[in-house]
Amino acid sequence: MIHLVSVVSSVLEQGSVEVGFAGKELILKKTFSFFLVQVCLLMISSQAVSEDLAWFRIIGFSEDGVYAAWEMGGIQDGSGFQWVEAEVLDTETSLEAARYRHVWDEGVDELPSAEDVAAVEQNILDLCEKYGIRSGSYESALVYHPLTDLGVNGDTVVFCLERYSPRYNSGEIILTLALMPADVEQGYPDWFDSPVTPVLHTVCDGERKLFFSEDTVQGQHVLSFDYSIAAVYKNPGIENSFLVVLHSVRPGFEGPDGRFRVVCGSI
């Protein structure tokens, strides 16, 4: 039986590092094949575990770097419905500018048709176009840790912007993650750990700087009770601006669900 963690991690690896929403351009055949493969594997895996994990793919940035877009999807635990959602993020504030979500609920054991997938893809691309975001407009990840990397603690990563030779690089950047208690919403299931909010700092040239924090937890993230660093991308449109992908965990219908969160900051 294929384990769900390995499936989702392979999606993150293929999607976030090598391709955008559908490569450099929207190619229905490749995207639909990608979607069908992942859904089939996730459906097999759902027989082995009652929790669920999402896959992740970065879409791209606007030319001026002010906006970024990404997507995740999977199969809901409980209902078994397939879903996908995309977020447009303001890279200067880490606030959501727009979000699109679609759930295929016509049948638990049925795959969406090519026409249905194409329509959803087009809706996401149309949303990105409103913010000047072009699919595939991003560089390779500076840091990438799939869920299968069990040797990573997820709260500290060390990287550089350029590697000149085996012994020389552009300088070490340290990114750290701390989890701070967050307000507990009424009705929060108390059999899960209490909600937290992520706080990230960077250390560069000996200077420690706040990268991200929030006074009020945003939207759906009020339920998240764990985070770890998944990936780091350089914003190609704004100097010293970066996008950080976080693995997140929140209460689900039958257990904890794995999701993603994206935050931005500067060094």
Per-residue pLDDT at 197 exceeds 70: yes
Check residues 185 and 162 and name the one with the higher pLDDT.
162
CA distance linking residue 158 with residue 177, whole number of Å: 12
Let me know: does 247 contact 263? Beta carbons within 8 Å: no
pLDDT at 194 > cutoff 60: yes
Among 39-43, 48-52, 94-98, the minimum mean pLDDT is found in 39-43
* 54-58, 216-220, 250-254, range with the lowest pLDDT: 216-220
Residues 6+ apart with CB under 8 A from 174: 156, 157, 158, 202, 203, 204
- The yes-or-no verdict on residue 206 having pLDDT over 50 is yes
Contact, 11 vs 55, CB < 8 A? yes
Beta strands in the chain (DSSP E): 55-61, 67-75, 82-90, 95-104, 143-144, 156-159, 163-165, 168-169, 173-181, 196-204, 207-212, 226-234, 241-251, 256-266
Q: How far apart are CA 87 and CA 237, in angstroms?
A: 18
pLDDT of residue 107: 62
Instruction: Convert the pLDDT of each residue in 113-171 to its tens digit.
Output: 899 999 999 999 999 999 999 999 999 999 999 888 888 889 999 999 999 999 999 99
Q: What was the pLDDT predicted at 218?
A: 81
pTM of the full structure: 0.82
Region 27-49 average pLDDT: 43
Lowest mean pLDDT among 4-8, 85-89, 225-229: 4-8
Structural domain range at position 207: 4-266
Question: Within the chain, where are the H helices?
Answer: 4-12, 28-45, 114-130
Burial zone of 229 (CB within 10 Å; 0-12 exposed, 13-18 middle, 19+ buried): buried
Query: What torsion, rounded to 10 degrees, do the Cα atoms 159, 164, 169, 174 define?
Result: -10
pLDDT of residue 106: 65
Chain-wide mean pLDDT for the chain?
83
- Neighbour tally for 127: CB within 10 Å: 19
User: What does residue 113 show for φ and ψ, rounded to 5 degrees?
Assistant: -75, 165
Distance separating alpha carbons of residues 139 and 187, to the nearest angstrom:
41
Please give the angle made by the CA atoms of 176, 247 and 130, to the nearest 5 degrees.
105
Percentage of the chain modeled with pLDDT above 90: 64
pLDDT of residue 15: 42
If you compute the radius of gyration of the chain from its CA atoms, what whole number of angstroms results? 18
CA 251 to chain centre: 17
Q: How many residues are there in the chain?
A: 267
Are 117 and 32 within 8 A, CB to CB?
A: yes
Domains of the chain: total: 1
- Residue 225: partners with Cβ closer than 8 Å, 6 or more residues away: 192, 193, 194, 195, 196, 249, 250, 251, 256
pLDDT at 118: 94
